[in-house]
Structure 1
Amino acid sequence: MSKIRRVDCRLVDLEPETLRTDASQTFVRQETILVTLTTDDGLTGTGYSYTIGTGGSSVLALLRDHLAAVVTGQDARNVEALWTRMLYATRATAFGVLTSLALAAVDTALWDLRCKRAGEPLWRLAGGAHEGLPVYDTEGGWLHLTEAELVENVTAARRKGLRGAKLKVGKPSGTQDAARLAAVREAVGPHFELMVDANQSLTGAEAIRRARLFEPYDLAWFEEPLPAEDVAGHLRLARSTSIPVAVGESLYSAGHFAEYLSAGAAGIVQADVARVGGITPWLKVAHAAEAFNVKIAPHFLMELHASLACAIPAGMYVEHIPQLGAITHGSLRIEDGCVIPPDVPGLGIDWNEDAIADLRVA
């Protein structure tokens, strides 16, 4: 047996490493929710999730008031059973983002325990499909940046050996977006991948219009063009353009991904392990995508998604957007534009407990 004897829940606020703006919001701060599980056989596992400015204290309350008691005394090895148990204990608020974030914090801690017990890194225990995957940059493509700054940032990413870069779109007119994109494409040439992200800011008609403006620039994908609940709108867009439509960061259940995949409304899946409820459902989404011959390029959480994307056959890209530098030791290893997943037992995240204590707010 490996019963859970202690559940510690913490919240830390992290300042963004750079100003981050998109068509919908400004990234004010990152509320990082940490859960550490201690078992009676002497192991500890730490997992986490996050918000980008609000709701962290609500997730923490859900964990402390409800989910901690659900897993205490249970066998930590029974990961699927515990995930289901937590889901049914919070059925009144599932599926939704706050519940998914809370589930993810516990579930990632359970997987940390599982990997440590097996003496294996996450990327191998969860599948071991790739020893590395290409990395694309997001930090240089924010919406507030000038055209000249975009060109400078994206060419710098190419010089560093990264394989692509993502630009935020959603300016008042499509011609503004297209002009910025044209300047970057001219600067980096035809062999460097470019992606765009509208952050759910467009109507269906406007997304189709802008996709036609973007098509000459050979984009790897058009990300979150419409509100996430608009499956039909994404399907109409996918049928109207040659640019793959990417969705997933704002989908909070495997069932919602199933809607997109079965409809043919997603060309790229961007499941976020925190927002979908943990590693357990994330892997289900990833294998479902593979069954539909759709690739996975996870959203955010690069320190965790580097391992998960490498674990599964459908892994495509890892997004370079540093998140945890202020509360961890070391950084991900990137060689020749590819991230190499951590090869130590567990999630592969080396938490800096002194820094966490300094930044802890609850």
Structure 2
Amino acid sequence: MAKIERVELLMVDLKPKVKRVDAIQSFVSQETPIVRITDVDGMTGTGYSYTIGTGGHSVMALLARTLAPALIGREAFEIERIWRDLLFLTHATSVGAITSIALAAIDTALWDLKCRRLGQPLHLMAGGAQPAIPLYTTEGGWLHLESEALVEDALRAKADGFGGCKLKVGRPIHEDVARIFAVRDAVGAGFEIFTDANQAFHVDEAIRRARAYEPLDIGWFEEPLTADDIEGHRRLSDHTSIPIAVGESLYSHLHFREYLERHACSVVQVDAGRVGGITPWLKVAHMAEAFNIAVSPHFLMELHVSLCAAVPNARWVEYIPQLDAITGKGMKIENGRAVPSDEPGLGIAWDFDAIERMTVDGSRSLISA
């Protein structure tokens, strides 16, 4: 082991390659905090997290003023201990998105550093349960797209060996049904169609829509209600045969415990960038396994491919390219399945020259011993 000597902080702002619109918002920016942690032997680990366009500077301020200085002199391998100490250090602002996103950037950097020092890839260090994970695509299912575009993208994904696609819902119910039907009619049986409401509905509307979607053989109904409405999700689960998926808007592993204990979901979409990093992500995945529930994480495919390969109950990786502008090569795909990298570390081929060019003015900090 070696003590942490230096922490470098910066943020890049990545613009989506395609227009992304769902039931409640349109994405125009992806702020990406990046943390580089270096130990006394000169070994460096790189971690990251993200926002969808707001709050990034608040994350960077929390990192620079509070969290990063607390890392100096700590043993880098004590990842669990550091994660708990930092969570306690920020207990007055936990649980919340800003804190969890900041913790995620540090935690992923520590895991990267540990894997690099030991010369092992993340998917083996974290468990080594699966060689590859099925992919579904979201990138062609946005709410502003018309049925013809949805069908074209779904057929392309099927031809590429993907196992499914996701369609955003939130238009008038007859329009949603027509759009889903058009895709189902085109792809046939055996190709999964997932739906995502992005927390747009109240319970009564979600129950009504779920019943309308049921004849179309939907793989899951994602974020039908606000994330804090656990009782509403339980009621909905009791009223439909469609699996209910939650998790991208939960910022603590303890919130997942409540959902699982109350049988309020049947798919867990824990996001390492939002739940506080790899350390709590693994806690959620193993907790879900104890309830015989699958993990299909939200976003961050470049990181989640390795985490999904690490646990036995991961079912899907979501295909939304995120890091192409700041990486030298993308995630490996074989026969429509995501394959984790065998390179030591997180398995992300960072392009540090590109990161340097794209660093947001005023976001850089350096904390050292």
TM-score normalised to structure 1 length: 0.99
Question: What is the CA-CA distance between 1:105 and the residue it aligns to?
Answer: 0.3
Unaligned residue ranges in structure 1 (runs of 5+) = none
- Kept in 2, the 8 Å contact 1:251–1:257? The answer is yes
Residues paired across the two proteins, number = 361
Question: What is the CA-CA distance between 1:74 and the residue it aligns to?
Answer: 0.4
Structure 1 letter corresponding to 2:22: D
Alignment pair present for 1:155 and 2:155: yes
Distance in 2 (CA, whole Å) between partners of 1:246 and 1:70 is 36
Question: What is the CA-CA distance between 1:5 and the residue it aligns to?
Answer: 0.4
Question: What is the CA-CA distance between 1:63 and the residue it aligns to?
Answer: 0.1
- 1:239-293 CA-to-partner distances (Å, cap 9, x unmatched) read 1111000000000001100000000011000000010000000000000000000
Alignment pair present for 1:64 and 2:48: no
1:306 corresponds to: 305
1:328 corresponds to: 327
Question: What is the CA-CA distance between 1:119 and the residue it aligns to?
Answer: 1.2
- 1:162-185 CA-to-partner distances (Å, cap 9, x unmatched) read 1100000011x2111001000000
Distance in 2 (CA, whole Å) between partners of 1:346 and 1:360 is 23
Identity %: 57
Structure 2 letter corresponding to 1:355: A
Alignment pair present for 1:144 and 2:144: yes
Question: What is the CA-CA distance between 1:152 and the residue it aligns to?
Answer: 1.0
1:107 corresponds to: 107
Counterparts of residues 291-302 of structure 1 (less than 5 Å): 291-302=290-301
Structure 1 letter corresponding to 2:107: D
Counterparts of residues 1-362 of structure 1 (less than 5 Å): 1-171=1-171, 173-361=172-360, 362=363
- 1:110-166 CA-to-partner distances (Å, cap 9, x unmatched) read 000111122110011100000001000000100000111111111111111111000
Distance in 2 (CA, whole Å) between partners of 1:124 and 1:144 is 40
- Kept in 2, the 8 Å contact 1:332–1:339? The answer is yes
Distance in 2 (CA, whole Å) between partners of 1:100 and 1:329 is 28
Structure 2 letter corresponding to 1:175: H
Structure 1 letter corresponding to 2:168: K
SS class of match (1:166): strand
Distance in 1 (CA, whole Å) between partners of 2:70 and 2:87 is 10
Distance in 2 (CA, whole Å) between partners of 1:77 and 1:336 is 36
SS class of match (1:281): helix
SS class of match (2:353): helix
Structure 2 letter corresponding to 1:129: A
- Structure 1 stretches of at least 4 aligned residues deviating more than 6 Å after TM superposition: none
Structure 1 letter corresponding to 2:261: S
Structure 1 letter corresponding to 2:257: A
Question: What is the CA-CA distance between 1:192 and the residue it aligns to?
Answer: 0.5
TM-score normalised to structure 2 length: 0.97
Question: What is the CA-CA distance between 1:28 and the residue it aligns to?
Answer: 1.2
Structure 2 letter corresponding to 1:336: N
More deviation in 153-162 or 14-23? 153-162
Distance in 2 (CA, whole Å) between partners of 1:308 and 1:237 is 29
- 1:18-57 CA-to-partner distances (Å, cap 9, x unmatched) read 0000001101111000000000022100000000110000
SS class of match (2:128): coil
Distance in 2 (CA, whole Å) between partners of 1:134 and 1:219 is 17
SS class of match (1:226): coil
- Kept in 2, the 8 Å contact 1:107–1:278? The answer is yes
Structure 2 letter corresponding to 1:10: L
Distance in 2 (CA, whole Å) between partners of 1:184 and 1:325 is 28
